[in-house]
Amino acid sequence: MTTPDHTAAADPRAQPDSAPAAPDAAGLAVDIPFTEPDLFRLRAEVAAHTSAVGDDDLVHRVLIVASELATNVVRHGGGAGRLRLWTADHAVVVEVSDRGDGIVHENPGMERPDPMSRGGRGIWFCRQLAEEFTINTGPAGTTATARFRLPR
Amino acid sequence: MMRSDRSTRLADIGDRMAFATTVDLLAAGDHACMTFTDQQERLDLVAAFVRDGLRRKERVVCYTDAVTPAQLAEELAHRSVRAKAAAARGQLRLLAVEDALLGDDGADGMVNVLSTEAKTAERDGYPGIRVTADMCWATRPTAAEELTAFETAAAELFTAGKLCVICQYDRAVFDAVTLAFATATHQKTVAALAYHDSATLRICRQYSPAGIRVAGHLDYRQQDVLEQALGESRRLDRHMHVNLSALEYIDAACTASIVQAAIRLPPSRRMTLTCQPLTERMLALAGAGEVPSLRVTRAHDHA
């Protein structure tokens, strides 16, 4: 199955933001296109690969972030996306991208959500769990990148 | 017994249907079959059965196999049953199946055991007696016939209206045909009320302590069912117990549903929640720490 091309808007390497660049295909631990039925498998793969490089705490953090980003894609980002995970510079990096309509808020997930609010807490959760989090969004799609430091 | 008689009886049984009910609705005169795969659910249902019997001042007798009588007492205590006090005053008896049968095994042995217990309870002044037993003693090539013989002979014991029995069948131990016979030879079947039951997720009612139990992986796709289960617990249970000890994964949406259910409780009511570390983390992110009516404890493994 051929992976879809990324448009400039969704390609982190074209952005002025400091999202880590993904290695070529051979350096990727995980590279999964996904839709809703793939969420269970996606979580299992993310957890399996992360447990090889980190402890339970890291596995939980990476798993939660990967899953919330993927869920956002499925529910709000057009339904189909791509998850890539790799290690570089003593860190685990998770990148989730889609070709949906983009997020309306310029800087989503910066404010703590009201506990009684119905939705819209996934990105805030991600920002609490990853050491670095960047999100590039526009009318051609969204790419979110989370970086988790590995202990030396 | 003539072979043809036994064959005829087995054929008749295939047409019977047992009536499905829940453990909290069982009463004297009921003879129920419980099939289970999950040991925690079995213990929950047994705990509820024991607790209800003790409250009604009945004698309660449990024949256990998978756990020792001492372990069963611990498990009951963890589930809000005052097992040790009840055992001390003789109202609750916890026995190992093999000890009870003492070599007099098979259907006749179990019927004699039941009959003796019923007479003893009456002599000791109890208004009724509840018995529950792990039916593992019947796992032999002729299990279906043994169970049929047992259930038929035991039926007579119920006519006095003082005996209530749950027979427990472990799906890991009995084959499907035998389980079908077990279900058909009982007047009623008992299982936990399940709101959702799939390979990756089970959401069901918990009876002791009362609330809900969720096991597996939970995300936004079952958020509605989760909220239905929480809503029912809110209606039925003064203090809600949310057992997430076997929940491996939960997403932000479902975590919020649980926290919101706790926030909505009136000040006199509580939600006690047991969970694994990932869930604990999700709850903290969702603001559980600021909800006075919500108490979160980490799950510990039981035997």
The string of pLDDT tens digits covering residues B39-95 is 999 999 999 999 999 999 999 999 998 899 999 999 999 999 999 999 999 999 999
Contact A125 B291 (CB under 8 A): no
Residue B16 confidence (pLDDT)? 60
A59: nearest CA partner in chain B: B278
How close, in Å, is residue A62 to chain B by CA atoms? 11
A48 touches chain B (CB under 8 A): no
Cβ distance A64 to B290 less than 8 Å, yes or no, reads no
Q: How far away is chain A from the Cα of B263, in angstroms, using its nearest Cα?
A: 8
Res. A1: pLDDT tops 90? no
Quote the longest CA-to-CA distance of chain B.
71
Residue A92: per-residue pLDDT: 97
- In chain A, residues with a C-beta closer than 8 Å to the C-beta of B286 are 115, 121
- Residue of B87, B90, B93, B95 lying closest to B134 (CA atoms): B95
pLDDT digits (tens, 9 = 90+) for B124-156: 999 999 999 998 877 666 777 777 788 778 888
pLDDT digits (tens, 9 = 90+) for A13-71: 444 456 788 887 767 899 999 999 999 999 999 999 999 999 999 999 999 999 999 99
- Report the alpha-carbon distance of residue B203 to residue B236 in Å, rounded: 16
Pick the residue of B200, B218, B220 with the most A CBs within 10 A to test the interface with A by mutation: B220
Q: What per-residue confidence (pLDDT) applies to B185?
A: 80
Q: What residues have CB less than 8 Å from B67, skipping those under 6 apart?
A: B75, B303
ipTM of model over 0.90: no
SS3 for B157-174, per residue?
HHCCCCEEEEEEEECCCC
- Contacts (Cβ under 8 Å, ≥6 apart) of A121: A113, B252, B253, B256, B285, B286
The residue type of B20 is A
Extract the tokens encoding B294.
């919500």
Q: What is the pLDDT along chain B (303 residues), one digit of tens a residue?
A: 444 444 444 445 555 667 889 999 999 999 999 988 789 999 999 999 999 999 999 999 999 988 999 999 999 999 999 999 999 999 999 999 887 765 556 677 788 888 899 999 999 999 999 999 998 877 666 777 777 788 778 888 888 889 999 999 988 888 888 888 888 888 899 988 999 999 999 999 999 999 999 999 999 999 999 999 999 999 999 999 999 999 999 999 999 999 999 999 999 999 999 999 999 999 999 999 999 999 999 998 643
Residue A149, strand partner residues = A91
Using an 8 Å CB-CB cutoff, list chain A residues near B290.
115
Substitution target in B281, B283, B290, B298 with the highest count of A β-carbons within 10 Å is B281
- Angle, alpha carbons B167-B171-B177 (nearest 5°): 90
Least CB–CB distance from A128: residue in B256, B278, B285: B285
B153 or A146: which leads in pLDDT: A146
Q: What is the pLDDT of residue B302?
A: 45
Contact A63, A130 (CB under 8 A): no
Q: Is the pTM of this model over 0.95?
A: no
